[in-house]
Copies of this chain bind each other. A is one copy, B any other.
């Protein structure tokens, strides 16, 4: 791919000059490549005619916002990888790319004739990044994987929810996003290594493995109880090792309060005007408080429910008690703090209207946050990539378009 422009995209940013080919879809791979774009890489999103699944759903109205959030600052091209000519064009792109990202089911790229061995033979410096539900090997390799199935398989559901309710999924699509950010991390690591060795790598992440460590508190409870399977702990500590630690009712919502130690607990008693309880033997230390967890939660609830969220926040802040109001998405999207930090920004998206999108959560001092570009319409950079970069003539390009290759 010849460089048409003088200055590489993202000049001054860490990944300036890198070219990423992005075959990924929905959340997992696209989050990884979004973060690459926001670190300065040139990301070329390659989609089948009709667009990847999330773009299709965005067109139907259900997923415009996530599509726009995850695909800003990327170029969009269409390419039929099932056609021989499409595959050839793709291999031509691979020869001067740095990274290929895909999150197909295991075996898909091999069947298309663009598996890691083929691509690395074309370009030994290529980093081939693959994310799947359960990995490229092992007995569950071909088990169906989406965020909710991996939440079920990984134990997340079994530890989320109240003890007397059915298991419930975690609201965020955390299996998808944990895999996506681990994939980005693996790519960045392999890029660093390539500076030393001159060689690319196959980097692999599975959704199941990417979420395991986040179950640490509950795994501690499982282990500490000699393998007795823990019940769901609701809003109590996942290891049932701290109290007070819960979400307590306010008159107009809920507030989370957490006391890790006596300093926090005594601050809470001060806020409650219950200094008399500091000497109560039931509440002497973390261990005795955990032993009287129901009493302590009743005591705190009786106090919190007299006040609004805002009143509680004011009192708890003044007494330096760890806490937070439970906020809804309206409050989150309009969060003054994230907007002040330019983490969130309102943009006028040419296709999807006025929306809030996020910059990269990874910040580098000395470079301003990357200016946000709206996601491209499908194939918007076809001509730029296939004619200017790959050198197709106008006639060839039109022929390929007519044949459904590009």
Task: Determine how close the nearest CB of chain B comes to the CB of A163; give it in whole angstroms.
Answer: 11
Is there an interface contact between B189 and A15, defined as CB atoms closer than 8 Å?
Answer: yes
The answer to whether A371 has its CB under 8 Å from any CB of chain B is no
| Chain B residues with CB below 8 A from A192, complex form | 14-15, 188, 191-192, 195
Given A181-B181, A363-B205, A158-B324 contact (CB < 8 Å): no
Question: Considering the chains assembled together, what is the distance between the CA atoms of A140 and B332 in angstroms?
Answer: 13
Contact pick for A178, options B149, B177, B220, CB 8 Å: B177
A-B contact pairs, 28 of them (CB 8 A): A14-B189, A14-B192, A15-B189, A64-B223, A65-B216, A65-B223, A66-B217, A143-B324, A146-B322, A149-B324, A152-B255, A152-B325, A153-B324, A155-B332, A157-B235, A158-B326, A160-B168, A161-B161, A165-B165, A167-B254, A168-B247, A170-B174, A181-B185, A203-B364, A206-B361, A208-B337, A212-B338, A223-B355
Instruction: Return the contact of A195 from the options B159, B195, B331, B333 (Cβ within 8 A).
Output: B195
* Shortest beta-carbon distance from A127 to chain B in Å: 10
Say yes or no: is A234 at the interface (Cβ < 8 Å to chain B): yes
| Interchain nearest-CB distance for A264 vs B (Å) | 9
A256 touches which of B140, B152, B184, B237 (Cβ 8 Å): B152
* Cβ of A61 under 8 Å from chain B: yes
Which of A78-86, A131-139, A270-278, A390-398 lines the interface with chain B? A131-139
CA distance A86 to B296 in the complex (A): 41
Indicate whether A171 reaches chain B with its CB closer than 8 angstroms: yes
Structural contact, A172 and B156, CB atoms closer than 8 A: yes
Contact of A247 among B35, B152, B209, B326 (CB under 8 A): B152
A215 (CB) vs chain B CBs: closest residue: B172
CA distance A121 to B232 in the complex (A): 49
A214 part of interface (Cβ distance < 8 Å): yes
* B62–A212 touching, CB < 8 Å: no
Q: How far is the CA of A166 from the CA of B332 in the complex (A)?
A: 18
Quick one: which of B14, B186, B216, B258 contacts A146, CB cutoff 8 A? Answer: B258
Is A186 a contact partner of B362 (Cβ separation < 8 A)? yes
Report yes or no: A232 in contact with B364, Cβ–Cβ below 8 A. no
Q: Which residues of B contact A258 (CB under 8 A)?
A: 146, 148-149
Chain B positions within 8 Å of A53 at CB level: 260
